[in-house]
């Protein structure tokens, strides 16, 4: 597995994209509206910053995170060539899964999340391109 991206929750995607774009000389590689979220991926050369902003009136995981924690790192994503195998390894290690099966994620990738209660408080995402 390799680092894929860090998901950063914010209530102002455009301002954070502008800031990181300037600070890190990181161009926007991809933007989309995905479900309840406005998403932008900034290309760091060896991975991405995924900037996540809930749409107005949205009620979901990122909205709940912002309400509890405020803006910040929401999750860390690891790229895998075989997401089913990655989930099987997590099960074998008795790591509780948020997603028992892969589901569609941003940018058309398959994703699955591990519960942070078993990963040192970090929400870990497996991503299969």
Answering whether pTM is above 0.75, one says yes
Q: Considering only the top CATH level, what class is 2-128? A: alpha beta
pLDDT per residue as tens, the chain (129 positions): 999 999 999 999 999 999 999 999 999 999 999 989 999 999 999 999 999 999 988 889 999 999 999 999 999 999 999 999 999 999 999 999 999 999 999 999 999 999 999 999 999 999 999
pLDDT given for residue 7 in this prediction = 98
Residue extents of the structural domains in the chain: 2-128
pLDDT given for residue 58 in this prediction = 82
pLDDT in tens, 4-20: 999 999 999 999 999 99
48-54: strand order across its sheet: 28-34, 37-43, 48-54, 2-9, 72-79, 124-128, 110-114, 103-104
Distant-in-sequence, close-in-space partners of 42: CB < 8 Å, separation ≥ 6: 17, 20, 21, 24, 26, 27, 28, 29, 48, 49, 51
Nearest-angstrom CA–CA distance, 110 and 41: 16
Nearest-angstrom CA–CA distance, 49 and 28: 9
């Amino acid at each position: 597995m390799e680092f894929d991206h860090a998901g950063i929750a914010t209530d102002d995607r455009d301002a954070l994209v502008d800031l990181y774009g300037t600070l890190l000389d990181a161009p926007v590689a991809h933007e989309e509206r995905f479900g309840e979220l406005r998403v932008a991926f900034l290309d760091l050369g060896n991975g991405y910053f995924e900037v996540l902003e809930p749409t107005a009136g949205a009620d979901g995981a990122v909205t709940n995170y912002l309400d509890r924690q405020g803006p910040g790192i929401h999750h860390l994503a690891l790229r895998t060539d075989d997401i089913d195998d990655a989930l099987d390894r997590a099960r074998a290690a008795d790591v509780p899964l948020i997603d028992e099966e892969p589901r569609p994620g941003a940018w058309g990738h398959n994703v699955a999340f591990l519960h942070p209660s078993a990963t040192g408080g970090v929400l870990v995402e497996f991503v299969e391109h």
